[in-house]
Amino acid sequence: MKDYLLLERQTLPNHIERSFFNALKHTAKEHGYSGFMPKTRFLYRRFMDYFWHILSRLVPHSSIRVKLHRWRGVKIGKNVHIGPQVTIDDVYPNFVVIEDGVSLAGQNYILTHNKPLEYHKYISEAYLAPVFIRKNAWIAIGVTILPGVTVGEGAIVAAGSIVNKDVPPNTMAGGIPAKVIKEFEMKDGIPIGEKK
């Protein structure tokens, strides 16, 4: 299988609608499956990923959600809270890194790939890029994080925001698209209020 542990931006082919078996063959190859029964192994992996993902949206406790997303390949640190109905990329979950102490409030979308139709290839790039949510960041309810974004350590992203650029450490960002609203004054590594 292709090594996706190198978390760097990669170009993807644009989307072309295909029959099930043609799509399976093409997608298994795209994901680096070769050798013995590549389509079967890829289909099994996608099915299990889908199953864990759906289950993670339904279970009533954060610690179970964290475990299910780890099974999907999401790299998750210690003391992480994942709220209800969080969607972590359904195709490349292993391109998401969530560090220690992060809180995802709920109804968040974390996306790692953009794959427009072949028809739109000249106006929208098809790519895969990792998302990093650094230590002690708080992602409020209803936030969407787009591919290639890093949310800095200790940052807060306000409810309902769409994050298409990096959020600096120890700041609050919000809006569509998200922009820095305030910087935090720090004391002994802990935010104590707004920077004057």
Is it the case that residue 1 has pLDDT exceeding 60?
no
Q: What is the pTM of this model?
A: 0.90
Structure tokens at 92: 């490349």
Structure tokens at 135: 């230590």
Is it the case that residue 29 has pLDDT exceeding 70?
yes
Structure tokens at 114: 């953009």
* Pick from 9-13, 47-51, 160-164, 171-175: least confident: 9-13
Which tops the pLDDT comparison, 37 or 142? Answer: 142
**Residues 6 or more apart in contact with residue 21 via CB below 8 angstroms:** none
Question: What pLDDT sits at residue 107?
Answer: 96
Mean pLDDT for all residues in the chain: 92
The ranges assigned to domains in the chain are 18-58, 74-186
Is it the case that residue 192 has pLDDT exceeding 80?
yes
Is it the case that residue 24 has pLDDT exceeding 90?
no
CA atoms within 13 A on the CB side of 24: 14
Mean predicted confidence (pLDDT) in 90-113: 96
Question: What pLDDT sits at residue 7?
Answer: 83
Q: How far is CA 125 from CA 13, 15, 119, 122, in A?
A: 9, 11, 11, 7
User: What torsion, rounded to 10 degrees, do the Cα atoms 37, 43, 47, 49 define?
Assistant: 90
Question: What pLDDT sits at residue 3?
Answer: 42
Q: Percent of the chain, pLDDT > 70?
A: 97
Question: What pLDDT sits at residue 4?
Answer: 44
Residues 79, 77, 182, 196, CA torsion sign:
positive
How far apart CA 42 and CA 50 sit, in angstroms, is 12
Q: Is 174 exposed, middle or buried (0-12, 13-18, 19+ CB in 10 A)?
A: buried
Question: What pLDDT sits at residue 80?
Answer: 98
Q: Percent of the chain, pLDDT > 90?
A: 70
> Per-residue pLDDT tens for 59-80?
999 999 999 999 999 999 999 9
> What is the second-level CATH architecture of the domain 74-186?
3 Solenoid (2.160)
Confidence of residue 196 (pLDDT cuts 50, 70, 90): low
